[in-house]
Amino acid sequence: MSRFHPHSLAHAWHRYEGPTWLVAFAVYGGWLALTFAHAALPWWILVPAGAWFVAWHGSLQHETIDALAHVPAPLRAALAYPPLGVFFPFGSYEREHRRHHQAGAHVTESAWDPESFYHDPDRWASFPRIVRAIYRANQTLAGRLTIGVILQTVHSVSAAARAIAAGDRAALRDWTIHLALVALLFWWLAAVPHMPWWQYLAFVAYPAAGLTMLRSFYEHRYADDVAQRTVTVENRFPFGLLFLNNNYHTVHHANPALPWYRIPRAWRSPGAGDRFGGGFHFTGYGTIARRWLLRVAFEPVEERR
């Protein structure tokens, strides 16, 4: 039963995702302020601030896919489609993320899960040694934060090219819209705040994509027990705010439509360990960094099962 009277302001605030709109205003307001002030900012402010706001926008995009049920679709699209992160079309991300959740008990398995970092054994064996070494490096945190963006971009572009060549109209539509919006973004940056496209790409978009990789680095792993394939990383600030609590990933997978600001309470609720547990749990990203900054978290090749 709702804690709020059905006609109260508090009820409307939560029904129409008030906290998420605050984030949206902060994201777009902060991004605009940063781009207009870029020429006056030293790199050591521009890079982390730009990475924060654009990575935060990526978390907002994720929220529009799974939550915001009472927000009209045109408004959700207006929040999600601006390509502040440059590298990936939102339309393709949305379709692949829905497939990721639909994988269910097959999450992490490359044949089912488009967000898997595992490779089929036969495909893995066909890779040259240098390619396998690169994929292994991508399984260290240092590698994921640096070369992970390049690998994911190459994978996305090559997959899209194959799909379009095979007649996939959805892929063609997604990339056409995305490239048009990116061109518009670069034009606006050059014409209004006078920020060169290469500077935005190098000092804002790429660091932001790398920062997002922190969340996804050890988000899933293969385990015989499906309950142990999805992680929870307890951090409400700063990373919980940046990732909109998607770091409590077991809770998110159990209830994808749960708004981000209700996730920590669900994690702390009685019996949460039984509902969201499985033992795949860290108290913070520092633990992950200490263990896997330069060590491979898991071999990215599936065992034959």
293 Cβ contact list (under 8 Å, min separation 6): 140, 141, 142
First to last CA, the chain: 45
The count of structural domains within the chain is 1
Please determine, for residue 79, whether its predicted confidence score (pLDDT) is greater than 50: yes
Look up the domain containing 158 and give its range: 9-292
Condensed to tens digits (0 to 9), the pLDDT of residues 161-190 reads 999 999 999 999 999 999 999 999 999 999
DSSP the chain: --SS-TTSHHHHHHHTTHHHHHHHHHHHHHHHHHHHHGGGS-HHHHHHHHHHHHHHHHHHHHHHHHS-TTS-HHHHHHHH-S-TT-SS-HHHHHHHHHHHHHTGGGTT-TTT-TT---B-HHHHHHS-HHHHHHHHHTTSHHHHHHTHHHHHHHHHHHHHHHHHHTT-HHHHHHHHHHHHHHHHHHHHHHHTT---HHHHIIIIIHHHHHHHHHHHTTSB---SSGGGSB-EE---TTHHHHTTTTTSHHHHHH-TTS-GGGHHHHHHSTTHHHHH-SS-EES-HHHHHHHHSSS-SS-SBPPP-
| pLDDT average, residue stretch 22-47 | 97
- Residue 297 counted as domain residue: no
- Of 222, 218, 211, which is closest to residue 232 (Cα–Cα)? 218
Please determine, for residue 35, whether its predicted confidence score (pLDDT) is greater than 50: yes
| Main-chain phi, psi angles of 4, to 5 degrees | -115, 150
- Residue 1 counted as domain residue: no
| pLDDT average, residue stretch 282-304 | 95
Cα–Cα dist 86/152, whole Å: 13
- Residue 302 counted as domain residue: no
Condensed to tens digits (0 to 9), the pLDDT of residues 253-276 reads 999 999 999 999 999 888 776 666
- Residue 42 counted as domain residue: yes
- Residue 16 counted as domain residue: yes
Please determine, for residue 227, whether its predicted confidence score (pLDDT) is greater than 70: yes
Give the pLDDT of residue 87. 97
Distances (CA, A) of 100 to 118, 127, 256: 14, 25, 11
- Residue 18 counted as domain residue: yes
Give the pLDDT of residue 6. 55
The CA-based dihedral angle spanning residues 28, 33, 36, 41, taken in that order and rounded to the nearest 10 degrees: -130
Condensed to tens digits (0 to 9), the pLDDT of residues 82-123 reads 999 999 999 999 999 999 999 999 999 999 999 999 999 999
Confidence band of 16 (pLDDT split at 50, 70, 90):
confident
| Cβ atoms 204, 33 nearer than 8 A | no
Give the pLDDT of residue 256. 94
Mean pLDDT of the chain: 93
Give the pLDDT of residue 304. 72
| pLDDT average, residue stretch 125-138 | 97
| pLDDT average, residue stretch 273-300 | 88
Confidence band of 14 (pLDDT split at 50, 70, 90):
confident
| Cβ atoms 248, 275 nearer than 8 A | no
Give the pLDDT of residue 11. 67
Give the pLDDT of residue 204. 98
Please determine, for residue 198, whether its predicted confidence score (pLDDT) is greater than 60: yes
- Residue 301 counted as domain residue: no
Percent of the chain surpassing pLDDT 90: 85
139: alpha, beta or left? (left if phi > 0; alpha if psi -120 to 50): alpha
Other CB atoms closer than 10 Å to residue 40's CB: what's the count? 8
- Residue 303 counted as domain residue: no
Give the pLDDT of residue 1. 43
